[in-house]
Copies of this chain bind each other. A is one copy, B any other.
Amino acid sequence: MKSKYTTIIDIAKQLNISKSTVSRALTGHPNVKEHTRKAVLELASTMEYQRNSLALGFSKHTTHTVGIMVPEFMSTYFPSVIVGVQDVMQAAGYNVVICQQNESYETEVANMKLLLSYRVDGIIVSHTKETRNFDHFTLAQRRGVPLVFFNRVPEELNVPNVIVNDYEAAFQAVEHLIRIGRRRIAHLAGPDSLVNSRLRRQGYLDALKKHDIPYNPDLVLSYDLTIEKVKIYMKHFLDLATPPDALFAINDPTAIAAMEVVKAKGLRIPQDIAIVGFSNDLSAGLVYPGLTTVAQPTGEIGRMAAEMLLQELNAKVKNDYSIKKAPTTQLPTKLIIRESTVAKKK
C-alpha cells in the first residue's frame, strides 16, 4: 500500500537531486547551496511534506518524545501537573504523550509497554494504587529509558522523584485541628500500598502524640480510594458512641464525599465536625463550606519533574542508580484554611 504522505524521495525526484541533499536542506545542514535549499523548502511546502517521525526515530534510536503516566485524571491534581510537564518539555523541544491508567495495574503495564514500543526517550510516572510489582519500571531502566516519579513514588525503587513532605503536611493539618480545640480526630487514610498514604498517616499519629492525645484505632480507617465507600466509612464514624469532632481525609475527593455524609445527617461543619482534605483540588474552594486543605504546587511539581527528566536525558554519562543515590526534589506545601475548620465571622 502506497502512503499518501510526501517523502524526501518524491522531492528529490522532482528537483532531480539526491535525497541526501534534500535531507540536508530540510534538516538545516550547513553544506547546502542557498539556491538548492530554497528550492527544496519551497517544494516541500507546496507538497505539504510532513516528516515521518517513525522512520526518523526508528533509524536514530531516539524519538524526542517523552511519556507521562498518571493513575487517573478526574481530579484537577494530575491534569495540572501534566500542564507543568508540557510547559517545560515543549520548550525543550520534546513531545509529550499522556497515558492514563484508570487506577488499573494492568493498564499501567500495558501503557508502559506501549511507550517502550514507541521508544520514548523518558517517562514521568505516578503509579496506580494497585501497583505492587515494579518490574515494568525496572524494565524501562534496563532499556536505558530514564524514569522520574512524582506524588506516588515506590519505596522499593531508587529513582529520581519529585515529592512534597507528606508527613510534615499531614502533621500540620492535624495540628491545626488540635489548635482549634478538636481532640477526637478521625482519619480516613489511603491504602498502604501508597507511600504518601503511609506518610500522611504517620504525620497524623505523631501530631496526636505531640499533643498528648491518645491514639484511638477506632478513628482510623484505611480504604481503597473508591469514593462510594466513603459513605460507609463516614457513617461508621458518625455512629460511634462518641463520634469524632474532626476528620482528616487522605485527599479532597474523600473529604468532599465525607462532607456530603455529614450534611445529610444534619450535622454542622465545622461546629459538629471539622474537616481537612489534601491537595487543594479546584473543588475544595467551591464546596460549602469551603474545605480546609493542604495545597500542593501542582504546576511546579510537573515543571520540576520535567527538569529532572531533562537532566537525565542530557547527561553525557547515563546515571546509574544501582550504584548511586537518585536525586529527590521536595517542594513546599501550604495549609489553606477555609470554613470547614473555622466558622466564618459574620
Interface positions of A (Cβ within 8 A of B):
1, 3-5, 48, 50-55, 57-58, 61, 63, 73-74, 76, 79-80, 82-83, 86, 90, 95, 97-100, 102, 110, 113-114, 116-119, 139, 142-144, 256, 282-283, 286-289
Contacts and interface: CB of A to CB of B under 8 A. Distances in A.
A244 to B, nearest CB: 22
Contacts of A139: 48
**Interface majority SS (helix, strand, loop, mixed), chain A:** mixed
16 contacts: A3-B61, A5-B143, A52-B119, A53-B114, A54-B57, A55-B58, A73-B73, A74-B76, A74-B79, A86-B100, A97-B97, A97-B98, A98-B100, A256-B286, A283-B283, A283-B286
A263 B291 CA distance: 17
Contacts of A3: 61
**What copy number does this chain have within its complex?**
2
Contacts of A74: 76, 79-80, 282
A4 B73 CA distance: 33
B4 A143 contact: yes
A98 B99 CA distance: 7
Contacts of A54: 54-55, 57-58, 63, 118-119
Contacts of A119: 5, 52-54
Contacts of A289: 288
A307 to B, nearest CB: 19
